[in-house]
Amino acid sequence: MPSTSRLAIVLAAGLGTRMKSDRPKVMHQVAGLSLVGHVLKAVDAAGIGRVAVVVGPDMPELVAEVARRAPGAQCHVQQERLGTAHAARAAEPAWRDLPDQVLVLFGDTPLVSPQTLARVCARLDEGADVVVLGFEAQDPTGYGRLLTEGDRLLAIREERDASEAERAVRFCNSGIMGFRGTRFAGIVQRIGNANAKGEYYLTDAVEIAAELGLSVVTERADEWEVQGINTRVQLARVEADYQRQARIAAMEGGATLTAPETVHFSHDTRLGRDVVVEPNVVFGPGVEIGDGVTIRAFSHLEDARVAEGATLGPYARLRPGAEIGAGAHIGNFVEIKNARVETGAKVNHLTYIGDARVGAGANIGAGTITCNYDGFLKHHTDIGAGAFVGSNSTLVAPVTIGDGAYLAAGGVVTEDVPADALSLGRARQVVKEGRGAQLKARFARAKAEKTGA
């Protein structure tokens, strides 16, 4: 259960100037979820029960996102951007009652894991006053170095101030820090701005804690999970890292990905056991796949549920509200939107089913469409169990096709069809002998006159 004695302060006031975007930086997405949404999700999963998010002025979109992703969180406005410690001070209403633990993290590090945050909390439980999360950098250039003795942190040395020996250190500062709650206020309020930029840096907490004789230790994370995002190139790199981890998790969970590097997951994709996913499949948000489902190549799914044993694609598209029953078949170039396709039904070719129910065992012929929109309102089509809908049928909603009904190919259906009835909705065929040759001759003369041939 989340502990209300633990407080996470998420710093999210950045404008994302280097992103060249009008949106707050943390509102950009990885795997269909905002950067700050990922961080809030990790905080919750780590058992941290209280959340304060520091935002910039005039960021209603971000405030709304926080309310969606963490309904109990409070947003605090940092009117001026004067450094990380200044941002933490903006959240003072959240920490002035001295919670047991305070974690400060960043809204633009979406890959940080709940397990890592839990380890930081555990070090505080064990008696540390300050915990700094570090990582071994492949290339430490530009990072602050963590100078340690065992796991005790002696100093954070910025690269411009580091000696040659210190620059060789590859253990670097992620910026994420944990504090014993009773120590946090005293430390953060002592941080000054006597530096070239006149800003208040949370990293100064290490020196202050040492002066107070407090216990300052480090915890380690993998480099990939503490990547921050300042540019769209870095955003793409983090997306790639997220997808790589998601593919591994899917395969370890019992799914087969025949070309893993081509499959794109959302942050909340759920796959059952023995699912087979062919190349170039995209999972948007809100997709749940049951056991034994096969998803053929180039399919796209979003906000959809697929029951066990169904087959999708290739080139199938499931839009929001699609529910596919057990053993159903959704074939090539078929689009399903806000519709339920029940057990064993088949919609195999070149078809659009929207705002509808397709009953168990029904067969929908190629080229069928449900005409669900009249320009103002959406209307429902109900196709009964065991019904047969012939190819190129047009079902003008609202309309009901009874169980076992048979619709002849090419029909336009505007009225309800009773159970087990036959519907013929097309015009009677008329054959005129010789007219084909006459038309060809007439068209040839017209062409010759137009071209001058």
| Active site positions, annotated | 349
Question: Amino acid identity, residue 305?
Answer: R
Q: Which of 222, 255, 225 is nearest to 242 (CA)?
A: 225
Cα–Cα distance measured from residue 105 to residue 38, given in angstroms and rounded to the nearest whole number: 12
CB 103 within 8 A of CB 5: no
How many residues are given for the chain?
Answer: 453
According to DSSP, residue 46 is labeled: T
Any idea what DSSP says for residue 450? Answer: H
Nearest alpha carbon to residue 398 among 411, 417, 422, 385? 417
CA 21/CA 415 separation, integer angstroms: 51
Own/partner pairs for 266-275, CB < 8 Å, 24+ apart?
A: 266/31, 266/32, 266/33, 267/30, 267/31, 267/32, 267/33, 267/37, 267/38, 267/41, 267/242, 268/32, 268/33, 272/308
Peptide bond into 110 cis (omega under 30): no
Compute the distance between CA of residue 184 and CA of residue 165 in angstroms, rounded to an integer: 32
Cis status, amide bond into 314, omega within 30 of 0: yes
What SS3 class is residue 85?
helix
What distance in Å separates the CA atoms of residue 105 and residue 101, rounded to the nearest whole number? 13
Handedness of CA 218, 224, 225, 230 (dihedral sign): positive
How many Å apart are CA 348 and CA 350, to the nearest integer?
Answer: 7
Interatomic CA distance for residues 426 and 393, integer angstroms:
9
CB 411 within 8 A of CB 425: yes
Closest CA to 382 of 362, 363, 361, 401: 401
Structure tokens at 101: 């633990």
